[in-house]
Structure 1
């Protein structure tokens, strides 16, 4: 049975898209060291990112934009990005394992939600790595546009440094306007 693992990265940050990935691993071409992306070093994630793309039977990365997050909320945007990732696979899976407690609506195959799945299923681990590395790369690119915010360091998460940068420099287009700290900075609580 062809099983796709799906995970997302970027629900907590105050800026940017939420990124999801779907991966169908090749049982004849195993990848050593797969784990929840948050438990791996950045160097290890980067190495696995390349290896997953080379060895997986199929992989897909998709997003929901900061505008979509503000329109439909972060949970729905995460599920939308996950659905897009599954639909973007060049080989349709027969079953989908989704990290978390909800599955995306509208998929044509059976799905199971697996809480903590990124530490339990290699397919979800691989998806979590693709999603996290992709989002981290986007934050490094955004940092080049807006170096005063320090996105390369905190990746858009609500850190003290990020709050201080917003206080000093204001809000940029990519900030999520539905998030409390951004609303507060804009004076629309």
Structure 2
């Protein structure tokens, strides 16, 4: 009985906490923690160690654990600490970070125009090549998902045709009568 009461009390405290942190006094305390980086820093390199804020993905308790929100890249991260991963996201709510930045707009981090550019030996990788690789990866993952779902797609015949074309290309690269391409036959 006592254990049940303590569990209910912890849950009630968490829900009260969600309401407290959106009050004037609660926002001021959370802003101090945010400025000190108590909740951690964004793991993305382009965010330059931006402090994170806790948030829930649902206001309904026992739906999802607390996540960490980066205001610079506007992405969510799982907490590193297993202790934090066991905290219910409803104890912070879905609106806390938005209310904090409405009350303190000076702390909204500036968005960056800087993006990572892949390079090979200092030269930028052509965008069309990167797009082609991405599209090929997406196509292969889609084929795998469809294959796992046992959906007939017609890709099977296409894959067999590609494999037979690759075999012909390999034979062509070997040159006439099995000689390697570029090799001079003995006379």
TM-score (norm 1): 0.26
| TM-score with structure 2 setting the length | 0.27
Give the number of the structure whose residues are more often helix, by fraction.
2
Question: Which structure is higher in RCO with an 8 Å CA cutoff and minimum separation 6?
Answer: 1
* Higher gyration radius (CA): 2
